[in-house]
Each structure stands twice: as C-alpha cells, then as structure tokens.
Structure 1
C-alpha cells in the first residue's frame, strides 16, 4: 500500500490544502472582489492582503435528504387554496420578507451574515495577476555564464545520497558478489565432491580424519560465502552533474511616463498606479527582468525607481525625447539579440506640434524592429490628439506587438492592464 504524506507547513489550526481548494472553488467571487479592491486602493497599499466577503447563498452545498414518503396525490401546476380571481392579502410587517437565509433584516431577529475571510499578500497578488504574462517572450542566445542548467554527466563513486543511482549501484554490487564468491564456490564444490567420494568408500578404506577435515572446510567456506556483503560502499555509484549553459530569457522593461505640465496630478496618479501594477507583476512572476525608468517633459531622463514615482519635476511636452533616450539605452546596454525588450508608455496624448510625426518615424524605423512588445496607455477623458492617431499608424504596421488603450478614470486601470498583458494562447516561448 502506498501512503502520501503532505509535509507542507501549515499555520496553527489551518489547512493549506483545504484553503487552496476553497480559493479555487470560489475563484469567480474572489476575482471580482480583488478587482474592486485594486480599483479603489491608493498607491501606498497596493501590495497588502484583502478581506473578501462571499454571500452565504453562494457557498451553500447541495445535500441529500429524506422526502416525506408515503402515497401523495399532487396536481401541478395549481394549489388547494386559491382559484382564479382571488385577491391575495399583502404580507404584514415593514420589510419585504423575513430575511432568514438571505442575509437581510428580520422582525424575528434572525438572518445569516456573509462569509468573510482574508487573503494573504501572496494570494491577493496571485489573483491580481492570474492569466497574465509578458507577450512574445523568447529564448535569447547566452549573454554570460550566469544562467546554467545542471545536467547528468556520467557516474562517479563520490556523491550525495540524493543523487545515488540505484540501478547502477545494484549492478555493481551483483558483479562484486559474483566475483568474490566464485573462487569460494569452486572450492566449496570441490570439498563437497571430495567428502562425497570419501563417504562412498568402504568402512575399511574410509579415513575419518579426512572426513572431519572436509566437513570443517565446507562449513568454513559456507560462512565465507555468507559473509560477502549484499552491497558495499565500493558498489555505490552517483549521478554526476555538470553545468550546461542555457539560452537566457532575460528581458528589460522600459517604463516611460509623461510628467509634462498638461498631465494633471490625477493623470500622474493614474499613470503611477498603472506602472506600480506593472512593477509588482514583473517582480512576482519574472526573475530575469530589469526595469528602466524614464521620465520626460521637453527632455527625458533615466531615473531611479523612487524618483520615477515621487519626483515633482514638470515642463513642456516632447515625447520623442523619451523614445530617443530608450533607443540610446538599448544600443548601449541591451542588444536585441541577447535581450527581450519591452516598453510601457503612459501619457495624456498631448505633444509638441510636429513631434508626433517624429515619434511615428522613430517607432516604425528604429524601435519596433527591436522590441518584443510596446504598450501605450493614454490617460484622458477627451478626444484623442495627434499622438494617438500617429500611434494608430504604428499599430497598423505591427498589429501583434503594438497595443494601445485609453484610461479615463482610475477604475479603468486594472481592466486595461489585463488587456495589455493577457496570456496569448498562440504564443510560443
């Protein structure tokens, strides 16, 4: 009989297995609550857990029970109390029902509360980013020897128990036993034949001393055979591992944010929340992704994470300055043949007079041939301006790798983020 023992550590009085089963069963309700939580949260508390409530009627389970039994005469549809034309008296009381079993108020003081529980930080983020991924992520040629895979490279006599080769060790032990027992068995066979020959002689010719000696030899040889160990440390063989270089799926994400004067504080807050979601998503799901933060107005600068989210610098608007800086950084530090390159841009769409044409030319001729994916979000409740229309032309050239969405208010952030980074079924890594 086989026994499976779950040794995962559980918190006191809690079962990790049952909790995961519960989360999976009510995934639809939890995801709805998580989406509402993301939309109403501020930037500073995006990563904490969340208290979730599920109506009791949604967690009820069907059960088998005994029916009334016996012989019954039923006429359906219809009833025994009313006929056509009867007037039904209005129910008494102030409420529209007794509330029992519905979670509502009752004049009898009875009802059911909603079932509430708290998602941990990890569980909350798991639901937030469920079904998302970096589009078109590819395996790139090796950049350095940092990323390796340990593969089996023959056998050795030294190693740790976890890497022992059972089959090879038993084969070695079997060969050793054969080799060690073979001469002893030959001597044993000769001694037995000599004893049998001596015992077949007549009592006059039989040598009792010789018989005693042969019996002692047989007993000694049998003990030597039994003393040969079934397995010895000499027999043990271990799988030897060697580091084999692997293609790297390393990627870099350029976060480009417009901080010009036309971006109101509300626009900037929405952009920061979008990029914070992106930052958390990459941090949780990818180990080999680097982040480059770029802020721009009339000029663009590469900044630190803290300055990207909290600096108050502002000015006019020249979007092409950010694209030129991104292209310069790619040439200097991130060659496309070794890196997966991504850009996420947030702006209100306002731009200098003829700069939108420059942006289109740069994207089509320089940036997009190098990038895996470009995501542009325009934060504005108004009609689109020239930058959006020029970007539409870029999307026409690269329909699979250039995506653009509009955000009107904070409640749109999460849905737009999921649209931009949803898992593509046809994607191959």
Structure 2
C-alpha cells in the first residue's frame, strides 16, 4: 500500500494541520522538555524559539493498510513438500517474529530528532502548566503613542503617498491587455509612410499602399488617445496604519534575597516568578532593561547568571537592596524618561529593626519613582493555612502591609508552591493603579 506523507512547508505565520496534530500527540514530552530548559536557560531566552529533542518512539509517520479482519481476499501461496493445510508450525528459535529495529547487529537506526517550537508555541506550553494560557494578554496602565507603519497599498490617498512602481506596473498590464499601440510600433509605421512619400517613383500601387498606411496610423493614434498611458484605475498609494507603541522605555528591577534562609525551593519559586514578569514586560515594551540585584546583609547589582546560580549566602538586611536600587536609578534611569517597575522576592526574614527602615524607604523615595512595585513572600507550604489569609507573618510582611494600605501601586502576595505562581502573578498585574503625580 502507498504511504501518504504531507511534507508541505508551513506558510508564514500559520501552521498546517499535521503540525498541530503532532503538537497534540507529543504535548507531554514537549512540556517536560520546555520545563527542563526553563530551569537551565537564560531568562531572556525563555520567550524565543526552542529546539526540543524528541524521541523516535511514537513519532513514526502514519501509513494506510487494509484491515486484516474485514473483506474477502484471495491469496496465492507458494507450494511446499513438508506441510499440509491444518498442520502446526514450530515456533522459530530466538522468539521469531518479523523484522524490527530493536537489538544490535547490522543495519541502521533512527536517532532522536529536533522539533523546533516557535515563540508562541513555547509560551503556550509554558503557560499551560499553570493553567493561565491567556495571562500574557494582560497589560499595565500606560500612555501610548502611535507611529505610522506600511501595511500595503490603497486606491485613495494624498499625492505624496503615490507608489510610482506599483502604479506603473498596473498601467503596463492594462495597456498590454487593451492592446494600446507602443511608441516603437507607431514610429515604425511613420517611418514607412515617410519613405513612401519621399520615393520619386510613386506608382499607383505605392499610392494605394500609402493610403492604407495612413489609415492604419490614424487608427492607431485614435486608439492611443482612447487608452490612456496612466489611468486613474492604475494609481496606487502607500497605505499606512497607526501602530501603538509605548511612549517610553521600561526598566525592571529584580530584587531577590539570597541569604542563608533562602533554600533551593525558595530560589526556584522566585526564578519562575521573575521569568513570568520578564515575558510580560518584554511583550509590552519595545525596549526593556532588566537590573538584577541580590542581597544578603549587603546588596550589589549582578548579571543574570550570578543572580540565579551563585551560591553566596549570609545574613539578611533587606534595606540594602532598596538603597542599591535607588542608587542605580539616580545614575542610569531618570524617572521622567523611564517607566520603572520593581519586583522583590524574599522569605521575609530580616534583621531586627530593618523592616521599618524598608517601609520608610518605600514611602519616602522608592514609590515616588516607581510606577508599580510587587512584593512576593515565599513561605513554607505548612504555613499556608496559618498565614495564607491573615496579616500575621514576618516583620517584613507586617511592615510592607502598612505600605500596601497607603500606596495603590504597591502590591504584595504570598507563594507557597509552584501552583500559586500564576494566580498570584495575575492578581498582582491585572490591577491598574490610578495615575498619580510624582512627588
């Protein structure tokens, strides 16, 4: 039986049905591979295309064959001298069976193949794990400006937007279709008439030919006048569409506690939260800077690799992270030119008396510069029932709780397990605070 294999390439910005069916079949394997890559890849690469190694098992191309239990069939079998109808055949040694790809020996086998997922497919799989596939459609409140973007052609517009190339192509096609005489055709006929007129030996036959040529030239001239070189139906204008763009650049400050009290579980939850925040702002802004600040009893700006994978630990002084953030804003990110966002992740442990200082820094300086500040406190799963619905908790939580009640663009939440990340992220970033004057 023939094998029918669809090897058409995917058209631009579309996926063929067979690709979608494969994604459905291999969804669990792809989700596992994406989850592994998210843990090891850089944050900025999570929202890009990924090549995922796929095992050959379960990915064979489908084939058509006749159902063995239906229909009437006639077989022609070779004769033999050893067996008759009804005889039992002995089982072959070694398990028998037809050819298979298992086992060693001669012959080749197919290796695992790379399946390339587009950026949208990666995000769909990544967000599906937390059951909020449309979370990336949410946006922060901001003032938007517009710029013109070319989106094809139109038959109406201003003279300054005429597309000469497209107009002349339309004109050429119309003239060919209607049979408008060309300049070379007219010139050849005129030269032939001039040659006959200048011939001193004009005969009666030449005079008749000259009359015919003049009639043809007159006919062609009248045809040229009826069929314009450029007709209004040929004219095309460049079409522009207003495309919304952010009116300013954005910077996101990621502040993470890496003191001894933050274990691997806490850091993993913080990383997943920051991944979502990065994708969110990357989709909204044309330009986005990310500043990573980690702190123990002192804070410093670091690169992404150090932010997530360094093994440094020590005591805890949270106010040092806020002070480092303010220093960087003063040096590189003036508030009148940048949309400033901040996200802080901590387990809430802090030096005695420093939580009140953090609250004072937020009220007096940080929140006057930030458009939005989100604080996420990572707690133990066993503490969920105790602290999940109350204001009780660490000293840092209680101090920030007072700020939350005073400033509308400051939000806070608790995370105890990976399943909490998407609901918390949604709650933090769907609320659009009222625009307030900068103090």
Would the alpha carbon gap of residues 9 and 212 (structure 1) be closer, same or farther in structure 2, given more than 3 Å must change?
closer
Matching residue of 2:420: 412
8 Å Cα contact 1:153/1:241 also seen in 2: no
Question: Which residue among 143, 163, 171 is the counterpart of 1:139?
Answer: 143
CA–CA distance in structure 2, aligned partners of residues 414 and 19 of structure 1 = 31
Tell me what 1:223 maps to. 220
Is the Cα contact below 8 Å between 1:155 and 1:240 reproduced in 2? no
**Alpha-carbon distance, 1:294 to partner:** 0.8
**Aligned: 1:385 with 2:394:** yes
State the alpha-carbon separation in 1 of the partners of residues 378 and 402 from structure 2: 19
Structure 1 CA distance, aligned partners of 2:21 and 2:374?
35
Does the CA contact (< 8 Å) of 1:156 and 1:239 recur in 2? yes
> CA shift at 1:322, angstroms?
1.1
**How far apart are the structure 2 equivalents of 1:35 and 1:402?**
34
SS at match of 1:16: coil
CA–CA distance in structure 1, aligned partners of residues 272 and 282 of structure 2:
15
After superposition, the Cα gap between the structure-2 partners of 1:40 and 1:20, relative to the gap in structure 1 and judged at 3 Å, is: closer
Distance across 2 between alignment mates of 1:35 and 1:361: 44
Structure-1 residue corresponding to 2:295 = 296
Q: Is the 8 A contact 2:168 2:230 kept in 1?
A: no
Structure 1 pair 355/427, CA: closer, same or farther in 2 (3 Å)?
closer
Structure 2 counterpart of 1:376: 375
How many Å separate the matches in 1 of 2:361 and 2:329? 14
Instruction: Kindly indicate whether residue 160 of structure 2 is the aligned counterpart of residue 155 of structure 1.
Output: yes
Contact 1:349–1:387 (Cα < 8 Å) also in 2 = yes
Residues 375, 413 of structure 2: 8 Å contact kept = yes
Q: Measure how far apart 1:347 and its partner are.
A: 0.2
Question: SS state of the match for residue 10, structure 1?
Answer: coil
* Distance (whole Å) between structure 1 residues aligned to residue 262 and residue 431 of structure 2: 32
In 2, the alpha carbon distance for the partners of 1:40 and 1:150 equals 39
Change (3 A) 1:213 1:365: same
- Residues 31-50 of structure 1: pairs in structure 2 closer than 5 A: 43-44=39-40
Kindly indicate whether the alpha-carbon contact (under 8 Å) linking 1:154 and 1:240 is maintained by their aligned counterparts in 2: no
Quick one: structure 1 residues 302 and 227, their matched pair in 2 at CA, closer, same or farther if it must change by over 3 Å? Answer: same
Spell out the pairing of 1:233-248 with structure 2 (5 A cutoff): 239=237, 248=247
For residues 416 and 38 of structure 2, the distance between their equivalents in structure 1, rounded to whole angstroms, comes to 17
Contact 2:135 2:426 in 1 (8 A): yes
Give unmatched runs, 5+ long, in structure 1. 1-7, 52-117, 142-146, 174-209
**Structure 2, unaligned stretches of length 5 or more?**
1-7, 55-114, 128-132, 151-156, 176-206, 388-392
Structure showing greater relative contact order (alpha-carbon pairs closer than 8 Å, 6 or more residues apart)? 1
Structure 1 residue 308 corresponds to structure 2 residue 307: yes
Q: What TM-score does the superposition give when structure 1 sets the normalisation length?
A: 0.55
Q: Residue 345 of structure 1: CA displacement?
A: 0.7
Could you list the per-position Cα deviations for residues 141-160 of structure 1 after superposition, in whole angstroms to 9, with x for gaps in the alignment? 8xxxxx95447874367654
Aligned to 1:270: 269
- Equivalent position of 1:397 in the other structure: 406
3-state SS in 2 of match to 1:406 = strand
Q: Which residue of 1 aligns with 2:4?
A: none
Find out whether 1:10 has 2:10 as its counterpart. yes
Within-5 A mapping of 1:335-374: 335-374=334-373
- Gap change, CA 1:331 and 1:127, over 3 Å in 2: same
TM-score (norm 2): 0.54
2:257 pairs with 1:253: no
Query: Cα deviations across residues 68-91 of structure 1 (Å, max 9, x unaligned)?
Result: xxxxxxxxxxxxxxxxxxxxxxxx
Q: Residues of 2 paired with 1:350 and 1:299: CA distance?
A: 14
For the 8 Å contact 1:39–1:410, the answer to whether it is kept is: no
Task: Flag the 1:216–1:265 CA change in 2: closer, same or farther, 3 A.
Answer: closer
Tell me the distance in 2 between the aligned counterparts of 1:23 and 1:338: 46
Closer/same/farther in 2, CA of residues 227 and 427 from structure 1, 3 Å limit:
farther
Structure-1 separation of matches of 2:283 and 2:29 = 20
Q: Kindly state the Cα deviation for residue 120 of structure 1 after the two structures are TM-superposed.
A: 4.2
Counting matched residue pairs gives 311
Answer yes or no: is the 8 Å Cα contact 2:259–2:296 preserved in 1. Answer: yes
- How far 1:313 sits from its partner (Å)? 1.9
Could you tell me how far apart the structure 1 residues matched to 2:433 and 2:16 are?
32
C-alpha contact 1:295 1:303 (8 A) present in aligned 2: yes
Counterpart residue number, 1:125: 123
> Relative to 1, partners in 2 of residues 1:286 and 1:157: Cα closer, same or farther, differing over 3 Å?
closer
Instruction: Give yes or no for contact 2:141–2:432 (8 Å, CA) kept in 1.
Output: no
